[in-house]
Amino acid sequence: MQTFPRVNLYLAFFLAFSTWAIYQTAPNQNHDSKKSSSLTRSSNELLPPSTAEVGLKEELSVTKKITVKSGDSLANIFERHEINPGELQKLMKLDSHSEEMKTLLPGEQLHINSNSEGELVNLRYVKSPVKILNIGKRGNTFDWHWELIEQERLASFASGLISNKNPSLYKAGKAYGLSDKLIMEIAELFQWDISFALDLRNGDSFSVIYEKIYVEGVEVGVGKILAASFSNMKKRFSAVAYENSEGTEDYYDVNGRPLRKAFIRDPVHFSHVSSSFNLRRMHPIHKKIMPHRGIDYAALKGTPVRAASDGNITNRSQNSASGKFIVIKHGRTYVTKYLHLSGFARGIYKGAKVKQGQVIGYVGATGWATAPHLHYEFLVNGVHRNPRKVRLPESDPIPEVEMESFRKILSPRIKQLKTISLRNYSSEYKTAKKFVSGKQVPKKEDA
């Protein structure tokens, strides 16, 4: 037999020993692995859910699209959709943003994302197509942001005529294609100079330049009024939007004076005067001569009543004659009274401060009243005065140093308003033309 070299024998022995060692240690390694795995599982049972588990929990959540109905609040919507009341309390801690959701309006939308345990994951509040609030759960609280909606604003225009057929601003505005919002803003714009319940006459006309808002090419709403004019009893009132050097925007007449005055003429929009200021009026209930120291505005029950000027409420009460009433003191000189209300607005109490135009109550027929109306009184130094005829203080004009800037905006706006105004109406309306949303359309004879 051939003899192998010694070195080969050593090598063979080493390989054999290594193979045996590997075989012996392999089961121990497997056992240690199982032991390590067991320890890992045991320790994991003491840890909070992982991010993946939280993500899975959120994946199991459901989004519900809700259209707000009349009388809806966030509280009853959460209750209806079985969301934990504690989530609402956390939302209400979002300071000013909770105020946005305290008064939901019919037609607004809520996209509520909640999980099976009734926890709120995300809330999307669609207040309008251009105003959307996103609220998302972050730990034990909520984070929020307003969505940036890309929008385009284009100037548009419209005009209207007060006629026998359309004797009110509202009817005339609707006849010429204006939205309720735009009609209301025109009324608010000229409310210091024109009484829309008393002053409108057949043949009065108005023109307005305003913004239309588009999102992705679709018209979604009306923006601000850029300029407007109103011809009332052969007197022309104009309004042009102007932002001053301090960044504050307001409306001014052609002389640079603010349209905003100390008092508005009518505390109720879209009403008519059923009884004027008359110190020798025959009372409709008592059938005897009794002074009527105010103006009665007939309107539907529930119509909002607005404060005529900034002031403090000195009385909010009820009695058999005046029904529910409010008294507001405006500085040392002026006092206004609002009688026969059906109810008071939220936050209206004795001692409260109110702003001009703020809703303070609602038209009713409480007290000595035969039908829903507002009885409005105006006192100067304690003496009743006719609200229509009392001379009111004027506001300061634009400073002379800014007049050149103002005129650069004023001049083209006034030219545009004159171009679109309805000056060609004859008494029979035969030669009139109608301008609606930037288009001139031949107008047929009105009935």
Residue boundaries of the structural domains of the chain: 1-47, 52-146, 153-260+395-422, 272-385
Sheet with 235-243, strands from edge to edge, namely: 152-161, 205-215, 218-232, 235-243, 249-252
Q: Rounded to whole angstroms, how far apart are CA atoms 230 and 16?
A: 111
**Residue 78, pLDDT score:** 87
**Residue 26, pLDDT score:** 52
Distance from chain centroid for Cα 166? 28
**Residue 327, pLDDT score:** 98
What is the percent of the chain with per-residue pLDDT over 70, rounded to a whole number?
Answer: 76
Min mean pLDDT across 62-76, 231-245, 348-362 is at 62-76
**Cβ-contact 241, 374 below 8 angstroms:** no
**Average predicted confidence (pLDDT) for the chain:** 80
From 3.40.190.10, 2.20.25.90, 3.10.450.350, 3.30.559.10, which CATH number describes the 153-260+395-422 domain?
3.10.450.350
CATH top class, domain 272-385? mainly beta
CB atoms within 10 A of CB 64: 13
Name the token pair of 264. 């508005």
Q: Rounded to whole angstroms, how far apart are CA atoms 132 and 101?
A: 12
Computed on alpha carbons and rounded to an integer, the radius of gyration of the chain in Å comes to 36
pLDDT tier at 262, thresholds 50, 70, 90: confident
pLDDT tier at 96, thresholds 50, 70, 90: low
| pTM, to two decimals | 0.64
**Residue 30, pLDDT score:** 45
Name the token pair of 216. 């992705």
Which of 284, 257, 267 minimizes the C-alpha distance to 403?
Answer: 257
**Cβ-contact 373, 297 below 8 angstroms:** yes
pLDDT at 54 over 50: no
**Cβ-contact 371, 365 below 8 angstroms:** yes
Q: Who contacts 327 (Cβ-Cβ below 8 Å, separation ≥6)?
A: 313, 314, 315, 316, 335, 336, 337, 338
**Looking at per-residue confidence, does 395 or 297 come out higher?**
297
pLDDT at 33 over 90: no
Domain 52-146 shares a fold with domain 153-260+395-422: yes
pLDDT tier at 207, thresholds 50, 70, 90: very high
CA angle 438, 427, 176 (to 5 degrees): 25
Q: Rounded to whole angstroms, how far apart are CA atoms 134 and 151?
A: 18
**Residue 172, pLDDT score:** 93
Q: Rounded to whole angstroms, how far apart are CA atoms 433 and 234?
A: 19
DSSP collapsed to 3 states, the chain:
CCCCCHHHHHHHHHHHHHHHHHHHHHHHHHHHHHHHHHHHHHHHCCCCCCHHHHHHHHHCCEEEEEECCCCCCHHHHHHHCCCCHHHHHHHCCCCHHHHHHHCCCCCCEEEEEECCCCCEEEEEEEEECCEEEEEEEECCEEEEEECCCCCEEEEEEEEEECCCCCCCHHHHHHHCCCCHHHHHHHHHHCCCCCCCCCCCCCCCEEEEEEEEEEECCEEEEEEEEEEEEEEECCEEEEEEEEECCCCCEEEECCCCCECCCCCCCCCCCCCEEEECCEEEEECCCCCCEEEECCEEEECCCCCEEECCCCEEEEEEEEECCCEEEEEEEECCCEEEEEEEEEEECCCCCCCCEECCCCEEEEEECCCCCCCCEEEEEEEECCEEECCCCCCCCCCCCCCHHHHHHHHHHHHHHHHHHHHHCCCCCCCCCCCCEEEECCEEEECCCCC
Tell me what the mean pLDDT of segment 196-219 comes to: 91
User: CATH for 52-146?
Assistant: 3.10.450.350
pLDDT tier at 123, thresholds 50, 70, 90: confident
**Residue 436, pLDDT score:** 36
